[in-house]
Structure 1
């Protein structure tokens, strides 16, 4: 990527889902040596600290079945403003989760600058549920739907009104757990998805080459990488809240990051769903930092 000024933002948010512990993800990733790893590659790193997250009120809402909606909206609104400030200063935003609901804030902040943003969603899940289709009411299964303009008004209109990303500018990689409502939406909106079937059949090299070419053909003005650690097989990343067997390997994921670095298309990134409570000796955070090393140009030779 060449030398970059990278601003790190932690988002200790675990209210978009039921399992506690993912709020400690940013600390676990920092503890795994993130800043030192990126600086050793030659980048300038500024750790901007963590976004403040309100405690959840234990109450049911007559308005919606979405869990902790107001608290998620407040935290992601703060994140969105911080991301906007960072991109307007010319720095590269690197966001550490927290659960995947934080992506609503990250991309809402990016949308102030990028009007034709491309997104690579590296994840076992499509995250395209709405309150009507969600089996759980967990907002971490809804961020991509909200970002393409579907779902609760408070999520869709966060930071600025309406759709933040065009559905045709989204590429999902590694999907293997998709709900029926999400499947319908993928077909209806023409969202590009590479499931594990495509990765197994054609290989990660072909999938990434196709994904990069696809986004370049869309003439996007930036590309955001949203990487959920459950995209990898839980053999490599046990510390995630919703593990799905049969995922991408450690080596396939490093290759994907190396190819993104070679392509020079990535303008922002987030790494989410590291849960140290469920982890084994910080293994998942170590993998996250290793993948960031590859994304930012770390080479063996």
Structure 2
């Protein structure tokens, strides 16, 4: 698996040149492209990073005062003879190897002092992004914004798609329920059930529901959001994650958390999702904690939009979420403004005004 130039520097621990900078940055942000699609069977999600970048992500972050380091995309190569595991699980070696490389990249970015934004790609990439983040921040908390729980095990999944399973591999409590997949020997569970809060669930498989209930994982379904309101949901989220100590936050955001009317260009849309206002409020409140350390934005699939307008709307929504995580607000967000300008010359005297007239 070859790495393009920016990533080669990142993995060697060398500094990369900033593509876009502002002198008064609010954040140092590393962009990590993960154009990976082997966690599911639909084509097109590997074009997600390019689509989100084309929607103006770098320019938006730079306009907020962020110092932006874009390390380009990981160049994933197909693993030969990547046979099904247990006659069901697709591309285990490809997913395992890609996740390992991504984990290394995210770990380096966080160690260098950046807030790391991973642009997917399908949600199996969270295996790598969360693992790499946890190497540097072992006490991190994860906010998983998604229509789906993505916590099936290889023994409970019906689809065989690994993008519906990443959290089962990451959770310590499930270690004895998850078999050792080929390509996954490097991966060690790094989260406990109390480290995770879900927001936006509305399509949960029976085995996933069993796991959520029996392992006491906190979640807020769309029904909970309707009942409580998004403000109370976020208050309870932070009570769960921050009640013992302040900790770095990893936000893993699947674009299908939004209602399909807002984000149609994605692989597994489910009716009744987040509104625009709810999605932005989630990102605003996470930003306001000052503890955001890493973000995943996944499952933007430009091949699944019925029109270019649908693709543009989905990509722009992804950019809005990421930008809001780094300071964009609906009250107005701009680079630092120190003082109002004053006139450069004295006002005309009355006599001068008369002469001019």
TM-score bin (small chain): over 0.9
Which string of whole-angstrom CA distances, capped at 9 and with x for unpartnered residues, describes residues 227-276 of structure 1?
00000100100011000001111111011111111122211111000000
CA separation of 1:48/1:171 partners in 2, compared to 1, >3 Å: closer, same or farther?
same
Which string of whole-angstrom CA distances, capped at 9 and with x for unpartnered residues, describes residues 54-77 of structure 1?
226576436552101101111111
Partner-residue secondary structure (3-state), 1:111: helix
Number of equivalent positions: 299
Which residue of structure 2 lines up, in the alignment, with residue 7 of structure 1? 30
Which residue of structure 1 lines up, in the alignment, with residue 232 of structure 2? 206
1:55 aligns with 2:85: no
CA separation of 1:202/1:55 partners in 2, compared to 1, >3 Å: closer, same or farther?
same
For structure 1, list consecutive stretches of 5 or more residues without a partner in the other structure: none
Which residue of structure 1 lines up, in the alignment, with residue 292 of structure 2? 266
TM-fit CA distance, 1:15: 0.7
Coordinate RMSD, CA, aligned: 1.8
Which string of whole-angstrom CA distances, capped at 9 and with x for unpartnered residues, describes residues 141-177 of structure 1?
00111110442424896645x3111111100000001
Partner-residue secondary structure (3-state), 1:270: strand
Which residue of structure 2 lines up, in the alignment, with residue 85 of structure 1? 108
Match of 1:190 among 216, 219, 226: 216
> Contact 2:110/2:293 (CA < 8 Å) preserved in 1?
no
> Contact 1:57/1:68 (CA < 8 Å) preserved in 2?
no
For structure 2, list consecutive stretches of 5 or more residues without a partner in the other structure: 1-24, 333-357
1:65 aligns with 2:65: no
Which string of whole-angstrom CA distances, capped at 9 and with x for unpartnered residues, describes residues 158-202 of structure 1?
645x31111111000000011011111111211001001110011
Which residue of structure 2 lines up, in the alignment, with residue 153 of structure 1? 180
> Contact 2:82/2:93 (CA < 8 Å) preserved in 1?
no
Partner-residue secondary structure (3-state), 1:112: helix
CA separation of 1:155/1:284 partners in 2, compared to 1, >3 Å: closer, same or farther?
farther
TM-fit CA distance, 1:51: 1.2
Match of 1:292 among 301, 315, 322: 322
- Which is greater in Rg? 2
Name the stretch that deviates more: 20-29 or 60-69. 60-69
Task: Point out which structure has higher relative CO (alpha carbons under 8 A, 6+ apart).
Answer: 1
Which residue of structure 1 lines up, in the alignment, with residue 354 of structure 2? none
CA distance in 1, matches of 2:79, 2:48: 18
Partner-residue secondary structure (3-state), 1:8: strand
Which residue of structure 2 lines up, in the alignment, with residue 253 of structure 1? 279
TM-fit CA distance, 1:219: 2.4
Match of 1:35 among 58, 67, 70: 58
CA separation of 1:153/1:60 partners in 2, compared to 1, >3 Å: closer, same or farther?
closer
CA separation of 1:131/1:174 partners in 2, compared to 1, >3 Å: closer, same or farther?
same
CA distance in 1, matches of 2:153, 2:27: 36
CA distance in 2, matches of 1:266, 1:154: 31
Partner-residue secondary structure (3-state), 1:271: strand
